[in-house]
Amino acid sequence: MKSTRAGLKVLLISPLPPPSSGIGSWTVNVTKEAAKSENLKVIVLDTAVRWRAVDNLSPIIRLTGGSVQAIRDILRTFAAILKHRPAVIHLNTSASFAAVKDISILWLAKRFGIKSVIHYHMGRLPELIKKNNWEWRLIRKSMMLADKTIVLTRESENCIRKAEKSIDVVLVPNPVDISDIKVTASDVKRETDAKYPRIVFAGHVTESKGVTNLISACTRLPVDFTLDIVGPVTNQYKEQLREIAKERDDGNRFVFHGEVTHDQAIQHIASADILVLPSLTEAFPYVVVEAMACGVPVVGTRVGAVPDMLDVESEHPCGVCVAPGDVDSLAQALSLILSDNQTRSRMAENARRRVEEYSLSKVFSQLVTIWNSLVSKEKEAADA
């Protein structure tokens, strides 16, 4: 790992599990790696949303409850600044209604002379820039206040550079502890004698994850299969999905496993022939990297960082991407990979190689470099 400046102190404003989330996993991974450094102290200010269900996206509830939490988080940030006197504030966000809170926190950093990083964990930035709506204007203000902006996709980085040349933006992928995943996956016996090829979906079972489209696509597959759906789901939505699933063999090819531990989820993924993530929107889904670490091809949608992660435009793709919401294309992609053992094996091997780009140590080193450079620039300016 890259060395850090002596006694570098970073205030990390970010959610921790529960509930499980991509940003929460990022926080766990980064703090775990930071603990290995004697010259770096990362203080976490937990901003997890625990006052509403993950699938409750009501704008009124998000706005009212979010406003209360925003005020609380701003006050806690102020107290943490006074107590810890960090050299850098690293703020993780998915924007939306939280954009006003982001501006307030970054203003506090400026007020106290603290270098700041705003890190966007979402893939909607190109769309927002194109719309030039209220959310983009707030995000742009946040980026202008921050000393460094981090995004998850190449498209987001390019769009920001074109929209506002003065913003210092950089692409940094999310880190994954690949070694832990490989250890768990190595304990799983591949179900080579399974009666049918196995498709796995792992994540929150919601409409926005494209699960309705997935069930519909699978009912159209011309090949035999089993679809394992791993993750929390409401009873009401599960019954809706079961009704659709009955169109194929009375629904007997579809298995709902419900919420499981992370190790159990990895075991499901490792024993799959394909992982499928048909989301309508994503930023940087960890489950894709986890599948790659297990040597499992991925069928995903062209949202967020997924096409970059799977390297679908290269000669060595790790899977296939289709347009979000395109049920026919999803069914065709699944059928193609399931029926072609050679293609499936080649994608699996490509995935094992490419996943090293997202290793925890490599990505964490990039973050440390950013933090150090901000502090170094401040010192050079003071000495000038």
- Give pLDDT, residue 56: 57
Confidence check: pLDDT of 351 > 60: yes
Q: What is the mean pLDDT of residues 157-172?
A: 97
pLDDT category of residue 7 using cuts at 50, 70 and 90:
confident
Cα 381 from Cα 160, distance rounded (Å): 26
User: How confident is the model over 183-224, as pLDDT tens digits?
Assistant: 666 677 555 456 789 999 999 999 999 999 999 999 999 999
- Give pLDDT, residue 1: 42
- Give pLDDT, residue 379: 64
- Give pLDDT, residue 26: 94
The SS3 call for residue 91 is strand
Q: What is the mean pLDDT of residues 63-80?
A: 90
Confidence check: pLDDT of 3 > 60: no
Q: What is the mean pLDDT of residues 348-352?
A: 95
> Which distant-in-sequence residues (6+ apart) come within 8 Å of 145 by Cβ?
103, 106, 107, 109, 110, 116, 118
Could you check whether the bond before residue 86 is cis, i.e. omega within 30 degrees of 0?
no
The domain locations on the chain are 8-175+359-383, 178-357
pTM, whole model, 2 decimals?
A: 0.85
Q: Return the percentage of the chain with pLDDT > 70, whole number.
A: 91
Q: 22: how many CB neighbours lie within 10 A of its CB?
A: 22
User: Number of helices and strands (H, E) in the chain?
Assistant: 15, 12
> Which distant-in-sequence residues (6+ apart) come within 8 Å of 32 by Cβ?
177, 360
- Give pLDDT, residue 383: 58
- Give pLDDT, residue 21: 83
User: How confident is the model over 287-317, as pLDDT tens digits?
Assistant: 999 999 999 999 999 999 999 999 999 999 9
CA–CA–CA angle 56, 62, 229 (5° rounding): 25
> Nearest CA to 143 among 108, 173, 118, 171?
118
| Region of poorest pLDDT, from 58-62, 119-123, 273-277 | 58-62
Confidence check: pLDDT of 73 > 70: yes
- Give pLDDT, residue 180: 76
Cα 169 from Cα 119, distance rounded (Å): 10
Q: Which CATH number fits domain 178-357: 3.40.50.2000, 3.10.129.10, 3.30.950.10, 3.40.50.720?
A: 3.40.50.2000
Cα 30 from Cα 24, distance rounded (Å): 10
The CATH classification number of 8-175+359-383 equals: 3.40.50.2000
Same fold, 8-175+359-383 and 178-357: yes
User: How confident is the model over 26-36, as pLDDT tens digits?
Assistant: 999 999 999 99
Q: Which amino acid is at 83?
A: K
Cα 56 from Cα 31, distance rounded (Å): 29
Confidence check: pLDDT of 271 > 50: yes
Phi and psi at residue 118, to the nearest 5°: -110, 130
Between 381 and 2, the more confident residue is 381
User: How confident is the model over 119-159, as pLDDT tens digits?
Assistant: 999 989 999 999 999 999 999 999 999 999 999 999 999 99
| Region of poorest pLDDT, from 37-41, 68-72, 175-179 | 175-179
Q: Return the percentage of the chain with pLDDT > 90, whole number.
A: 82
pLDDT category of residue 2 using cuts at 50, 70 and 90:
very low
Confidence check: pLDDT of 345 > 60: yes
